[in-house]
Amino acid sequence: MIVTVILIPFIAGILVPAIPFQKRWQKEVFLETAVVLNSILVWYLLLHHSDSTFLLAHFTGNLNISFRVDGMSMVFAGLVSALWPFATLYAFEYMTKEEHENVFFLFYTLTYGVTLGIALAANLLTMYFFYELLTLVTVPLVMHTLTREAVLASRKYLYYSLGGAAFAFLGLIMVIVYGSTTDFILGGVLDPAKTVGKTNVLLLIYVMAFMGFGVKAAVCPFNSWLPQAGVAPTPVTALLHAVAVVKSGAFAIIRLTYYSFGTNFLKGTWAQYAVMSVVMFTIVYGCSRAVKETHLKRRLAYSTISNLSYILFGAVIMTPLGLVGALTHLVFHAVMKISSFFCAGAVMHQTDRHYVHELNGLGYKMPRVFGIFTISALALMGVPGLAGFVSKWNLAGAAVESGNPLAWGGIACLLVSALLTAIYMLTIVVRAFFPGKDFDYSTISDIRDPNWKMLLPLFVFTVFIILFGVYSQPVVDFFIKVANGAV
Amino acid sequence: MGPNLFTNYGEAVSAILFCIGFTNLLLQTNLIKKIIGLNIMDSAIYLFLAEKGYIAGRIAPIVVNGVTSTERYINPIPSGLVLTGIVVSVSVTALMLSLTIRLYTRYHTLDLDEISTQLKKEGK
Amino acid sequence: MSRKKTAEEYQKTFAFRFFRWLSGEKDPYSGEVEMQPQKEYQPDPEAALRREKEHDAIMDKVYDTEHNKWMHLFHRLYQATSILFCLFLIALLLVTVSYLPAIGTVTRPVNNEVSGRYIEKGLEETGAINIVAGMILDYRAFDTLGESHVLFVATITVLILLRLNKTEKDEAEVNDRRFEPKNDAILQLVATFLVPIIIIFGIYIILNGHLGPGGGFSGGAVIGAGLVLYLNAFGFKKTERFFTEKTYKWVCFFSLSFYCLAKSYSFYTGANQLHSVIPKGTPGAILSSGLILPLNIAVGLVVACTIYAFYAMFRKGGF
Amino acid sequence: MNFICNFPFFSILLSLFSGTICSVLPAKAAKIVNRVVIIVIGLMSAVLLLYLLSTGESFIYWMGHFPAPWGNEIRAGVLEAGMALFFCIIMYLSMAGGAHKLPGEVVESKHNLYYILVNLLLSSLLALVYTNDMFTAYVFVEINTISACGLIMIRQVGRTIEAAVRYMIMSLLGSGLLLFGLCIMYDLTGHLLMSNIKESVGLIMANGEYQIPLIVSVALMCIGLCIKSALFPFHAWLPDAYGYSTVSSAAILSSLVSKGYIFLLIKIIYRVIGFDIFNSTRIIDVLFVFGLMGMIFGSLSAIKENDIRRMIAFSSVAQIGYIYMGFGMGTQAGMVASIFHILSHAATKSLLFIAAIGLTDVSGGSRKLNDLTGAAYRNKWAGAAFTVGSLSMVGIPLFSGFISKLLFAQAAVQVEGKMLASLIVLGISTVLNAVYFMKTVIRIYTSAADTPYMSITFRDRKPYTVTLVCFILLNIILGVSSQPVVDMIGQGLAMFA
Amino acid sequence: MYFILLSIFFPILAGLFLLIHYRTPLSGEKKNAGRKSLLLLTGCSLVITAVFVVIALFCEGEGFILFYLTKDLPIYFRIDNVGRLFSALAVIVIPCAGFFSFEYMKHEEREGRYYGFYLLVFGVLNALCFSGNLITFYLFFELLTMSSMPLVLHSGSKEAVMAGLKYLFYSLCGAYAALFGIYFLYRNCDSLTFTVDGALRASAITEHGTFLLAVAFIMLLGFGVKAGMFPMHAWLPTAHPVAPAPASAVLSALIVKAGVLAVIRVLGMFGRDFLKGTWVQTAWLCLTLITVFMGSLLAYREPVLKKRLAYSTVSQLSYILFGLAVMDETAFVGSFLHILAHGFIKAALFLCAGAIIYKTGKTRVEEMRGIGKEMPVTMWCFTIASLGLIGIPPTGGFLSKWYLALGSLNSGIPVFDVLGPVILLVSALLTAGYLLPLSIHGFFPGAAYDYGSLQKREPCKLMTVPISILTTLSVLIGIFPHLIIAVIHMAAAGR
pLDDT tens-digit readout, D277-302: 888 888 888 889 999 999 998 898 88
DSSP string, A452-467: HHHHHHHHHHHHHHHH
Q: Does C70 touch chain A (CB under 8 A)?
A: no
Predicted local confidence at residue C1, as pLDDT: 46
Name every chain C residue with its beta carbon within 8 A of the beta carbon of D110. 159-160, 163
Q: Does C52 touch chain E (CB under 8 A)?
A: no
Percent of residues in chain D assigned helix, strand, coil, to nearest 5: 80, 5, 15
Statement to judge: residues D254 and D342 lie in one domain: no
Last residue of a domain, one of D260, D280, D300: D280
The pLDDT-based confidence of D41 (bands split at 50, 70, 90) is very high
Average pLDDT, chain E: 84
Residue window 103-162, chain D: list those with CB within 8 Å of chain B.
135, 139, 142, 146, 149, 153, 156-159, 161-162
Within-domain flag for B97: yes
Q: Residue A107: CB partners within 8 Å, gap ≥ 6? A: A13, A137, A138, A140, A141
Q: Does A323 touch chain E (CB under 8 A)?
A: no
Predicted local confidence at residue C181, as pLDDT: 59
Predicted local confidence at residue D459, as pLDDT: 63
Statement to judge: residues D355 and D261 lie in one domain: no
Percent of chain D with pLDDT over 70: 97
Q: Kindly identify which residue of chain A lies nearest to residue E70, measuring between CA atoms.
A: A473
Encode pLDDT of D455-476 as tens digits.
556 566 788 888 888 989 998 8
Name every chain A residue with its beta carbon within 8 A of the beta carbon of C33. 423, 427
Name every chain D residue with its beta carbon within 8 A of the beta carbon of A178. 413
Predicted local confidence at residue A397, as pLDDT: 87
**Taking 80 as the threshold, does the pLDDT of residue D449 lie above it?**
no
Q: Kindly identify which residue of chain D lies nearest to residue A61, measuring between CA atoms.
A: D483
Predicted local confidence at residue D452, as pLDDT: 58
Predicted local confidence at residue A245, as pLDDT: 84
Name every chain D residue with its beta carbon within 8 A of the beta carbon of A132. 396-397
Structural domain containing residue B102: 9-122
Cα dist from E176 to A337, A416, C91, E182, E284, whole Å: 21, 8, 76, 9, 19
Within-domain flag for B99: yes
**Distance from CA of residue E83 to its chain's centroid?**
14
The pLDDT-based confidence of D125 (bands split at 50, 70, 90) is very high
- Chains touching B (at least 3 CB pairs under 8 A) are C, D
Statement to judge: residues D275 and D186 lie in one domain: yes
Cross-chain residue pair C141–D113, CB shorter than 8 Å: no
The pLDDT-based confidence of C34 (bands split at 50, 70, 90) is very low
Name every chain E residue with its beta carbon within 8 A of the beta carbon of C23. 234, 237, 298
CA distance to partner chain C, nearest, from residue A292 (Å): 6
Rounded mean pLDDT, E47-65: 82
**Least CB-CB distance to A294: which of C38, C41, C43?**
C38
Rounded mean pLDDT, E449-469: 78
Cross-chain residue pair C37–A423, CB shorter than 8 Å: no
Q: How many domains does chain D have?
A: 2
**Taking 70 as the threshold, does the pLDDT of residue C3 lie above it?**
no
Encode pLDDT of E70-125 as tens digits.
777 888 888 888 888 888 888 888 888 888 888 888 777 777 888 888 888 999 98
Residue among D425, D442, D480, D486 with most chain A CBs within 10 A, to mutate:
D442
**Least CB-CB distance to A419: which of E155, E158, E173?**
E173
Structural domain containing residue D376: 282-497
Q: Kindly identify which residue of chain E lies nearest to residue A392, measuring between CA atoms.
A: E183
Name every chain E residue with its beta carbon within 8 A of the beta carbon of C21. 234
Domain ranges for chain C: 46-99, 129-272+279-316
CA distance to partner chain A, nearest, from residue C47 (Å): 17
**What are the backbone angles phi and psi of residue E118, rounded to the nearest 5°?**
-60, -45
Predicted local confidence at residue D340, as pLDDT: 92
Q: How many CB pairs under 8 A join B and C?
A: 177
Rounded mean pLDDT, B76-81: 87
Predicted local confidence at residue C28, as pLDDT: 52
Name every chain D residue with its beta carbon within 8 A of the beta carbon of B26. 169, 173
Domain ranges for chain E: 285-446+453-495
Name every chain C residue with its beta carbon within 8 A of the beta carbon of D9. 267-268, 271
Q: Does E67 touch chain A (CB under 8 A)?
A: yes
Name every chain C residue with its beta carbon within 8 A of the beta carbon of D127. 146
Predicted local confidence at residue D38, as pLDDT: 92
Encode pLDDT of E177-225 as tens digits.
888 888 888 888 888 888 877 778 888 778 778 888 888 898 888 888 8
**Taking 50 as the threshold, does the pLDDT of residue C37 lie above it?**
no
Determine if the peptide bond prior to C283 is cis (ω within 30°). no
Q: How many CB pairs under 8 A join A and C?
A: 23
Rounded mean pLDDT, E472-495: 82
Rounded mean pLDDT, E8-35: 78
The pLDDT-based confidence of C31 (bands split at 50, 70, 90) is very low
Rounded mean pLDDT, D45-67: 86
Predicted local confidence at residue B37, as pLDDT: 92
Statement to judge: residues D263 and D298 lie in one domain: no
CA distance to partner chain C, nearest, from residue A143 (Å): 17
Burial string for E380-415 (b: 16+ CB within 10 Å, else e) reads bbbbbbbbbbbbeeebbbbbbbbbbbbbbbebebee
**Taking 90 as the threshold, does the pLDDT of residue B39 lie above it?**
yes
Q: Residue C224: CB partners within 8 Å, gap ≥ 6? A: C202, C303, C304, C305, C306, C307, C308, C311
Cross-chain residue pair C130–B101, CB shorter than 8 Å: no
Encode pLDDT of A231-284 as tens digits.
777 777 777 777 788 888 889 998 888 888 888 888 888 888 998 999 999 998
Cross-chain residue pair A434–E186, CB shorter than 8 Å: no
**Interface list for chain A against chain D, based on CB atoms closer than 8 Å:** 57-61, 63, 125, 128-129, 132-133, 136, 139-140, 143, 146, 151, 154-155, 158-159, 162-163, 165-167, 169-170, 173-174, 176-178, 201, 204-205, 208, 212
Rounded mean pLDDT, E60-68: 77
Name every chain E residue with its beta carbon within 8 A of the beta carbon of A444. none
Name every chain C residue with its beta carbon within 8 A of the beta carbon of B12. 94, 97-98
Q: How many domains does chain B have?
A: 1
Cross-chain residue pair C267–D63, CB shorter than 8 Å: yes
Helix axes D332-361, D400-413, angle to 10 degrees: 150
Within-domain flag for B51: yes
Last residue of a domain, one of D255, D280, D305: D280
CA distance linking residue E409 with residue E417, whole number of Å: 5
**Least CB-CB distance to C115: which of B18, B51, B77?**
B77
Q: Kindly identify which residue of chain D lies nearest to residue B97, measuring between CA atoms.
A: D165
Rounded mean pLDDT, E461-470: 86
Average pLDDT, chain C: 79
- Chains touching E (at least 3 CB pairs under 8 A) are A, C
Nearest to D102 by CA among D237, D306, D250, D258: D250
Cross-chain residue pair C270–D65, CB shorter than 8 Å: yes
The amino acid that residue C130 corresponds to is: N
Encode pLDDT of C44-76 as tens digits.
677 778 877 877 777 666 656 566 677 778 778
**Taking 80 as the threshold, does the pLDDT of residue C6 lie above it?**
no
Rounded mean pLDDT, E152-161: 80
CA distance linking residue A165 with residue D259, whole number of Å: 29
**Taking 50 as the threshold, does the pLDDT of residue C302 lie above it?**
yes
Q: Does C158 touch chain B (CB under 8 A)?
A: yes
Average pLDDT, chain A: 84
Cross-chain residue pair C35–A295, CB shorter than 8 Å: no
Residue among C61, C99, C108, C131 with most chain B CBs within 10 A, to mutate:
C131
CATH code assigned at B59: 1.10.287.3510
**Least CB-CB distance to E166: which of C22, C23, C29?**
C29
Name every chain D residue with its beta carbon within 8 A of the beta carbon of C118. 70
- Please name the residue ranges forming H helices in A293-386: 296-317, 320-351, 362-365, 367-381
Cα angle A5, A9, A11; round to 5 = 110
Encode pLDDT of C176-231 as tens digits.
666 665 677 888 888 889 999 999 999 999 988 888 888 888 899 999 999 999 88
Percent of chain E with pLDDT over 70: 97
Name every chain D residue with its beta carbon within 8 A of the beta carbon of A229. none
**Taking 80 as the threshold, does the pLDDT of residue E457 lie above it?**
no
10-residue stretch averages of pLDDT, chain A, 487 residues long: 79 79 79 85 81 75 81 86 84 75 82 87 87 86 79 84 86 84 81 80 88 86 82 77 83 88 85 90 88 83 88 89 89 88 83 79 81 89 86 88 84 88 85 75 74 82 87 85 80
Q: Does D43 touch chain B (CB under 8 A)?
A: no
Q: How many CB atoms lie within 10 A of CB D412?
A: 27
Contact B100, B34 (CB under 8 A): no
CA distance to partner chain C, nearest, from residue B31 (Å): 16
Q: How many CB atoms lie within 10 A of CB C80?
A: 10
Q: Residue D460: CB partners within 8 Å, gap ≥ 6? A: none
